[in-house]
Structure 1
């Protein structure tokens, strides 16, 4: 049996919420005025404030990509990730150090996130992750554009209990011993995933995780510091250049 380490991404391994950092970057790169991003961000904050579950806000987020060219998003996501690395401060260093320790010990590294492949694949390459479990936007097979929906399969979106279920499925498929594995997360929605492994590490100061961790003997790592300012896009695309 193999041992693994499962990492939530936003505010656990990285210092920011990549979905919104990239949304701002994409809007700027494609010439949308700043108020469009502000309006979108305020909409999601209002949804959270009124108690709408993370699963539903995640679905609403991906509706913003309806009609977007998948190859263009992939290209801009790589540009964005490179810009974040250049600016510095993208990683929560204590958690990144833990990831490196797991890799050195021969553990399988798995990123588990509500984000999507375009944003997570460059990150996985950078840190040497072996698997990505994430939300998966649906694409139109004819136009290769996003439909604004998630694929119709289990564990979508990759939030809350879906993370735990996907971790168990991956473990069964790859002969991973969850009893000797470790999971890392920063938010109460990560609790089901943290409870699937023999060792769990809460990251930051979520009060519910603090209480659960105290009862369960979970480890602790500091929360992510504030991210550096968002880098501006290197290239701004005019409408006639919105092709990959």
Structure 2
């Protein structure tokens, strides 16, 4: 849904901010088993995927390379696996950062438009969006042809792209950035946090911790989950 005109916005990074895991990689692990790869092939592909986190590889490039792994799969099938992946986590517990989830729902109760901002993709984010009651997801968008993923990425949502997308949404809503909120855990969230009037750092990233100390931002520990 679009942002409500004039309503403040609260932007939530997802991985290791709203939830306790890196959704892309955790889902990929689940997906490999679900589509029938052997244990040996699963481990090879998991290791290869995590090599994209290596130092020196730009995060946007790694993001694009990661999503090539879904080329040839029907988007609807991947989405169905995403719902099953999420349901499994929900049943086991420990997926959500309790204090951050409470903050999101508190903003919703106050009439604030809540926005998930993530380099992950709809197969992971749509179930999270539905469960939390968030209003909007700004995420990586994959190209599909006749309902099948091509392996190409139409839009990434990594690093500076997060702040740029948030800025556009704020401008469209007509609300001052100073009236908006942001939550993040990683240095790639820094520009997003600097954009808004009220920022919250989740976890113990030293760069964000130093910025929070300098600017008087709120901090939330990253260990309490539901």
The TM-score range, normalised by the shorter chain, is over 0.9
Q: Which runs of 5+ in 2 are unaligned?
A: 1-5
Report what 1:132 is aligned to. Answer: 137
Report what 1:111 is aligned to. Answer: 116
- Which of 145, 148, 162 matches 2:148? 145
Report what 2:192 is aligned to. Answer: 193
SS at match of 1:109: strand
Contact 1:16/1:226 (<8 A) preserved: no
CA RMSD of aligned residues (A): 1.6
Deviation per CA, 1:130-173: give whole Å up to 9, x if none.
Answer: 11100001101x3x11011101xxxx310111000000111122
Report what 2:8 is aligned to. Answer: 3
**Residue 203 (structure 2) pairs with residue 215 (structure 1):** no
Shift of 1:225: 5.6
Q: Which runs of 5+ in 1 are unaligned?
A: 228-244
- Which of 62, 65, 71 matches 1:60? 65
Deviation per CA, 1:176-209: give whole Å up to 9, x if none.
Answer: 3321111000000010111110011010011111
Q: TM-score, normalised by structure 1?
A: 0.86
Contact 1:201/1:218 (<8 A) preserved: yes
**Stretches of 4+ moved more than 3 A in 1?**
44-47, 224-227
Contact 2:29/2:46 (<8 A) preserved: no
Which range moved further: 34-43 or 12-21?
34-43
Distance in 2 between residues matched to 1:66 and 1:46, nearest whole Å: 19
Distance in 2 between residues matched to 1:131 and 1:168, nearest whole Å: 14
Q: How many residues align?
A: 221
| Higher helix fraction (1 or 2) | 2
Distance in 2 between residues matched to 1:83 and 1:167, nearest whole Å: 31
SS at match of 1:148: strand
Report what 1:184 is aligned to. Answer: 183
Report what 2:160 is aligned to. Answer: 161
SS at match of 1:64: helix
